[in-house]
């Protein structure tokens, strides 16, 4: 079960499905290329088609380092309301990170893993994401009413436990959060960055495991040869 606590964010907002609860690990993140707004809400559509720097954070995949990617985000607001001085909006949608750099490879031989130009690094579908904002700061957290996300990636095997969460923080929100209508947030732009988490993962792939075992094995063989020589 995903943790339902909401973490306060200073001078920011976030689009979140869950927080990184017990048993979850952050396996990927992204950050903006610069300070230019890369997410916008127009009418009921939250969208992005902007360059970002994407990183896998797990052993093996982290060897790729930061990757230039295009963030594609499309979501629809289904409801919004004000409680006191705080604005809330609920969203259904999807996102994808598409690699825009040249082909890059880690490992070699049968342990080689390559990311090609135009390949999707990570995608996801979400429902009932809850945006929460107050003035120029706020957060968007997983709804306590079963918000969820499903990830897909050709480079990562997700746990069958289905504990999958994401957090897209929104900073430099302009104008400040407000309602344009009783059930719709007013238009805004923001700079976005984020993290993606899942249950303690299954092996990313046998290839990556074997790469790790090969490195360890080579080290042990070198150590034995050194001891024999002594």
Question: Does residue 21 have a pLDDT over 50?
Answer: yes
pTM, rounded to two decimals: 0.79
If DSSP codes are grouped into helix, strand and coil, which group holds residue 143? coil
Share of the chain above pLDDT 70, in %: 71
If DSSP codes are grouped into helix, strand and coil, which group holds residue 21? coil
Average pLDDT score, the chain: 78
Predicted confidence at residue 174, as pLDDT, reads 92
Q: Which of 44-58, 127-141, 178-192, 204-218 has the lowest mean pLDDT?
A: 204-218
Question: Does residue 23 have a pLDDT over 90?
Answer: no
The answer to whether 199 and 24 are in contact (CB under 8 A) is yes
| pLDDT band at 40; cut points 50, 70, 90 | very high
Share of the chain above pLDDT 90, in %: 41
Question: Does residue 22 have a pLDDT over 80?
Answer: no
The model's pLDDT over 154-210, given as tens digits with 9 standing for 90+, comes to 988 887 767 888 888 888 899 988 999 889 999 999 998 889 988 865 544 434 444
Q: Across-strand partners of 31?
A: 53
Q: If you average pLDDT over each of 21-25, 54-58, 111-115, which comes out highest?
A: 54-58
Q: Tell me which of 221 and 173 has the higher pLDDT.
A: 173
Closest C-alpha to 73, from 168, 9, 1, 154: 168
Tokens found for residue 194: 């984020």
The model's pLDDT over 74-128, given as tens digits with 9 standing for 90+, comes to 999 999 999 888 888 999 999 999 999 999 998 878 778 999 999 999 999 998 8
The answer to whether 149 and 189 are in contact (CB under 8 A) is no
Question: Does residue 70 have a pLDDT over 90?
Answer: yes
Predicted confidence at residue 49, as pLDDT, reads 96
The answer to whether 13 and 190 are in contact (CB under 8 A) is yes
Q: Looking at residues 36-61, what average pLDDT do you find? A: 93
- Reported as type and span, the H/E element at residue 195 is strand 188-199
What is the C-alpha to C-alpha distance for residues 60 and 56, in angstroms, rounded to an integer?
9
Look at the alpha carbons of 25, 6, 129, 98 in this order and tell me if their dihedral is positive or negative.
negative
């Amino acid at each position: 079960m995903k943790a339902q606590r909401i973490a306060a964010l200073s001078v920011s907002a976030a689009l979140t499905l869950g927080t990184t609860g017990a048993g979850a690990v952050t396996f990927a993140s992204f950050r903006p290329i610069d300070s230019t707004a890369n997410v916008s809400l127009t009418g009921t559509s939250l969208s992005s088609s902007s360059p970002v720097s994407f990183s896998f954070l797990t052993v093996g995949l982290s060897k790729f380092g930061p990757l230039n990617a295009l963030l594609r985000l499309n979501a629809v607001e289904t409801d919004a309301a004000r409680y006191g001085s705080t604005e809330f909006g609920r969203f259904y949608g999807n996102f994808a990170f598409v690699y825009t750099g040249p082909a890059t490879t880690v490992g070699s031989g049968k342990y080689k893993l390559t990311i090609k130009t135009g390949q999707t690094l990570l995608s996801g579908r979400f429902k009932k994401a809850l945006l929460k904002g107050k003035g120029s700061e706020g957060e968007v957290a997983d709804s306590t009413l079963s918000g969820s996300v499903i990830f897909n990636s050709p480079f990562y095997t997700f746990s069958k436990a289905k504990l999958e969460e994401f957090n897209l923080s929104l900073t430099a929100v302009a104008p400040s959060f407000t309602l344009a209508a009783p059930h719709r947030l007013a238009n805004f732009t923001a700079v976005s960055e984020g993290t993606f988490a899942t249950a303690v993962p299954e092996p990313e792939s046998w290839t990556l495991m074997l790469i790790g075992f090969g490195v360890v094995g080579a080290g042990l063989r070198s150590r034995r040869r050194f001891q024999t020589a002594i």
